[in-house]
Amino acid sequence: MKIQNVDFDSYYSEFLKELENIEDLSSLNQLKGKFIGRKGKINELFKNLKDLEPQGRKVIGGKLNELKEKISFLLEKKAQEIKARAQTERTVDLSLPGKRSWCGSFHPLTITLRQIIEIFQTLGFRVEEGPEIETEYFNFEALNIPADHPARDEQDSFYLEDNFLLRTHTSPAQIRVMQKYQPPIKVIVPGKCFRRDAFDATHSPMFHQVEGLVVAEKISMGDLKGTIQVFTKRLFGEEREVRFRPSYFPFTEPSCEVDISCGVCGGEGCRSCGYSGWLEIMGAGLVHPQVLRNGGYDPERFRGFAFGMGVERIAMLKYGIPDIRWFYNNDVRFLDQFKTFR
Ligand code: 2U9
């Protein structure tokens, strides 16, 4: 065929039609070879230019160059598109399952302890701590617990060398507070305690207490009752009733135990409160004069009230947890239910 008779437009539309169906780089390369390669259609046409007059050669050559440039441009553009698509397909595979993200949470005892501390802080209490290893003097004697008291049995406490033992309550820390500060004092002492108990649903050889101590010139049972009533209702809810029952502790006189109305039956009596309508939450009392004296205070001038509660027991009542061991097993199915940012 003579070059003068070639229809450049039909070459171009043939190229466009083939380009449209191309999806990958290797077919694109084949197409490139077919049209603008060394043995491609356009080069074959260039070869025919030598048969033309200089004038015609210039016109047709210009047209051929223009066609070649348009084709190269479109090939390059298509190559970019194919590469870009391959890139996104590699980084985002929408058919893959999503990545699971895991958000931790505070331990229920941490949440409970922080709530207890926060309530007492708003009531003006300071937070103090003491050592977990104590002497018999601070753990027992100073608290008016005599040598023949059953609590001092080796079966009940973890004794160490000499006269040391793991504290069985946080009370020795309050003796230390009294020896360090002059009244008036208003402190709570949170911390770990240790007793030689076997694990069961309500016992653990390690548990946590929060104890409180207030000493000033004029302290009465009314101060104790008001403070504990406000604390209890803030922690468990205004609708819960609070009851004070006479009891006995060596370090307080008089002593009492504190009950709240059962949250399940509202005081009617049900299985969770042992059909009494009440749940015991802490012990309390006015500080024994001998204990004030052991702390270095004059019992003729100062009086105090004190209270103590088990953090595990409070958390079990608050969240309806039936077994103390659940706090220590670190089972994520249990821990994961306390999602909060407190
Ligand atoms: C000093 C003076 C007095 C602290 C008190 C209780 C009553 C009490 C128990 C609750 C459950 C211990 O965790 S538990 O087993 N505590 O009943 N604690 S009064 O009295 C003190 C403490 C320190 C110097």
How confident is the prediction along the chain (342 residues), in pLDDT tens digits per residue?
A: 567 777 888 889 999 999 999 999 999 999 999 999 999 888 888 888 888 888 888 888 888 899 999 999 999 999 999 998 888 777 777 888 888 888 889 999 999 999 999 999 999 999 999 999 999 999 999 999 998 888 888 778 999 999 899 999 999 999 999 999 999 999 999 999 999 999 999 999 999 999 999 999 999 999 999 999 999 999 999 999 999 999 999 999 999 999 999 999 999 999 989 999 999 999 999 999 999 999 999 999 999 999 999 999 999 999 999 999 999 999 999 999 998 755
β-strand partners of 192? 208
- pLDDT number for residue 25: 92
- Give the mutation target among 204, 309, 324 for probing the ligand 1 site: most ligand atoms within 8 A of CB: 309
Distance 308 CA to ligand 1 centre (A): 4
Query: CA–CA distance from 6 to each of 20, 48, 61, 112, 124 (Å)?
Result: 23, 11, 12, 90, 101
CA–centroid distance, 246 to ligand 1, in Å, is 14
Amino acid 342: pLDDT: 54
Residue whose CA lies nearest to ligand 1 atom number 17 = 283
Ligand 1: list residues with CB < 6 Å.
Answer: 169, 171, 174-175, 209, 211, 213, 249, 251-252, 282-285, 287, 291, 306-310
Q: Residue 212 C-alpha to ligand 1 middle, in angstroms?
A: 8
CA distances, 187 to each of 184, 228, 293, 315 (Å): 10, 14, 18, 21
Beta-strand relationship, 242-249 and 185-194? unpaired
How far apart CA 41 and CA 38 sit, in angstroms, is 9
Q: What six digits make up the tokens of 11? A: 């070459």
**Nearest in space to 307 (alpha carbons), one of 282, 340, 327:** 282
To test ligand 1's pocket by mutation, which of 134, 211, 244, 317 has the most ligand atoms within 8 angstroms of CB?
211
User: What local confidence, expressed as pLDDT, does residue 1 receive?
Assistant: 57
Which of 207, 282, 302, 311 should be mutated for ligand 1, with most atoms under 8 A from CB? 282
Pair of tokens at residue 318: 């608050």
* Ligand 1 atom at minimum distance from 249 CA: 7
How far lies 47's CA from each of 1, 2, 32, 52, in Å?
A: 12, 11, 18, 11
CA of 72 from ligand 1 middle (Å) equals: 90
For residue 216, give the amino acid letter.
A
Written as six digits, the tokens of 247 are 């009891």
Cβ atoms of 27 and 35 within 8 Å: the answer is no
Inter-residue contact 267 to 241 (CB < 8 Å): yes
CA–centroid distance, 160 to ligand 1, in Å, is 23
CA of 334 to the centre of ligand 1 (A): 30
Residue 79 tokens read as: 């190559």
Query: Which of 156, 251, 257, when mutated, tests ligand 1's pocket best, judged by the most ligand atoms within 8 Å of its CB?
Result: 251
CA atoms within 13 A on the CB side of 182: 1
Atom of ligand 1 nearest to the CA of 175: 24
Sheet with 126-127, strands from edge to edge, namely 126-127, 185-194, 206-216, 303-310, 278-287, 252-261, 242-249
CA dihedral 164, 167, 170, 175 (to 10 degrees): -20
Query: Which protein residue has the closest C-alpha to ligand 1 atom 13?
Result: 310
Q: How far does the centroid of ligand 1 lie from the alpha carbon of residue 171, in Å?
A: 7
